[in-house]
Structure 1
Amino acid sequence: MNTFTSGTARAALRVFLLLATLLTLAAPPAARASTAAAPFKVLALYSGTWDAAHIDFDKEADDWFPRQAAANGFTYTASTDWNLLSNGGVNAYQVVLFLDDLPQTAAQRAGFEQYMRGGGAWMGFHVSAFTTDAASWPWYHDQFLGSGNFRSNTWGPTSAVLKVEDRTHPATRNLPATFTSAVSEWYSWSNDLRQNPDIRILASVDPSSFPLGTDPNQSWYSGYYPILWTNTEGSRNTPETCRRDQPRRRAAGSRSATCRATASTPGRA
């Protein structure tokens, strides 16, 4: 079974539909009326130059997302031109995806921050959140995502029981108190999100999941691991940056690419 079109893909589609709803609700009534019939536009940026699993994932994403776009009323454009972030091209899109990378130049990073502060929406996959040097882009890693540096991961990939901590947010309103995830590789981060006043944690790893992992040397046996959270900074206490983190990696011998997905709804300065 193609793991991209299973749990993670369905989650991605649900986030897209949520983003579309939030973008519509955020618009003034007159704008809503004029754009009600217009599909929202998605731009996927990727590099496609390293790691066989990432390249496979890019190919699968560029097959799956256009089909979902046609079926669910949005448009999908894929590009390797990351300078669309710095030259204003990104402003023609309501949602931006990072499939296998993140902005590298100062101009690209500044353009992405401006896009998000102006009301853009974002979803990231694979290494789009990974870093061991959060200080190299503190706005993105420490403020926007809030996660800081990569700290550890579980291995091998397993499902986990996730506990919903806040069912008042649109992303979690219809979820049960706990649910079992798709098979994933789980990541933890250096920043304790519970200590960040702008972060509202929506779901975390339930203790019944421990030990999490199959390799005794790369398993989690206890601790607190947020999986879904929202960043409320600058939103008058309305959630604006929602990040879903479900790390995944393809198993040995598998031909299908899997992903870590993160998503953020519009942020405003």
Structure 2
Amino acid sequence: MQRRTFLLAATASLLTPALSRADSQYRVLVLAMPSKYHYEYIPVARDSFERLSKLHAFDLNWTHAASVLEQDLSAYAAIVLLNTPVEDLNPAQRAGFEAYMAGDGNAVIVHRAAIALPVGSWAWYERLVGRTVGVHPMLQTGVVTVVDKGFPATFGLPERWIWSDEFYTTTNPYQVPIHPVLNVDETSYDPRKIWPGQVSEPMGRDHPIAWYHRPQKGRVFVTTLGHTVEMYRDPTYLTHLMGGLYWTATGRGQTR
């Protein structure tokens, strides 16, 4: 009787990890490297991402070590570059990320990770982002507007959303077509307000701050929002992030 009980317990212990793995829908890698102005957010963002992964049943691998890009990345449905200063990636790490994307990989690019410095130094990455960020604006409160109601990153957002962030101005030197998801209303803040030594000009009515596109066979979602720590505790912002991640990892969720 004791032997039978032991065998049943051993069998259950072997099955439990398999069942747990079966419950996971996909695997996500988050690379959150600290930089001069973006490091305090990391423990808060990690906690929020871990809660999202449990709530939405996906596996999460969180790291600050760029060396992960030199490993086999094929198991990941999406890689999230969370405020990652991509200029700090060495040639091997850049090559690893390029190979992942060339192999039908998918990427979520958040805030600071949309900037590749100096501009033009990694043209492949600027094309992947879909826009080039040339200046670093000051944080202001403005009105974010929904452009695409049918995209998952907008499902939990009001049509006009009061938000405080660095509203990046961008250019499109490589003529990459993107699908805007969110715009910022330039009449709601001062688009010329910039740090000394820089110049920022308004973009006009069409000022995208979140978008998606499909370079090659993969999916890329970009949100330039996400500068401060408190944003990674904000339910509306996290809903925006999760919607973008869900589409990027699965290709699902669009209503039109």
TM-score, normalised by the number of residues in structure 2:
0.66
Which residue of structure 2 aligns with residue 124 of structure 1? 109
- Are 1:75 and 2:59 matched, yes or no? yes
- Are 1:136 and 2:136 matched, yes or no? no
CA gap of 1:221–1:189, structure 2 versus 1, over 3 A, is closer
CA gap of 1:197–1:169, structure 2 versus 1, over 3 A, is same
Preserved contact between residue 199 and residue 230 of structure 1 (Cα < 8 Å):
yes
Preserved contact between residue 149 and residue 190 of structure 1 (Cα < 8 Å):
yes
Deviation at 1:126, TM superposition (A): 4.5
Unaligned runs of 5+ in 1: 1-34, 251-255
Preserved contact between residue 142 and residue 189 of structure 2 (Cα < 8 Å):
no
Amino acid at match of 2:171: S
Preserved contact between residue 83 and residue 111 of structure 2 (Cα < 8 Å):
yes
Structure 1 CA distance, aligned partners of 2:222 and 2:228?
19
Question: Which of 33, 51, 58 is matched with 1:47 structurally?
Answer: 33
Question: Which of 34, 38, 47 is matched with 1:63 structurally?
Answer: 47
Question: What's the Cα RMSD here?
Answer: 3.8
Percent pairwise identity: 25
* Cα deviation digits, residues 201-230 of structure 1 (max 9, x gap): 333223542445888999876724211222
Structure 2 CA distance, aligned partners of 1:86 and 1:248?
27
Tell me the matched-pair count: 216
CA gap of 1:86–1:182, structure 2 versus 1, over 3 A, is same
Amino acid at match of 1:185: E
Which residue of structure 1 aligns with residue 98 of structure 2? 113
Unaligned runs of 5+ in 2: 1-20, 250-256
Amino acid at match of 2:50: P
Question: Which of 225, 229, 247 is matched with 2:207 structurally?
Answer: 225
Structure 1 CA distance, aligned partners of 2:188 and 2:38?
28
Aligned residue for 1:248, secondary structure, equals coil
Preserved contact between residue 198 and residue 233 of structure 1 (Cα < 8 Å):
no
Aligned residue for 1:93, secondary structure, equals coil
Question: Which of 207, 222, 229 is matched with 1:243 structurally?
Answer: 222
Preserved contact between residue 157 and residue 248 of structure 1 (Cα < 8 Å):
no
Amino acid at match of 2:210: L
Deviation at 1:183, TM superposition (A): 2.1
Which residue of structure 1 aligns with residue 140 of structure 2? 157
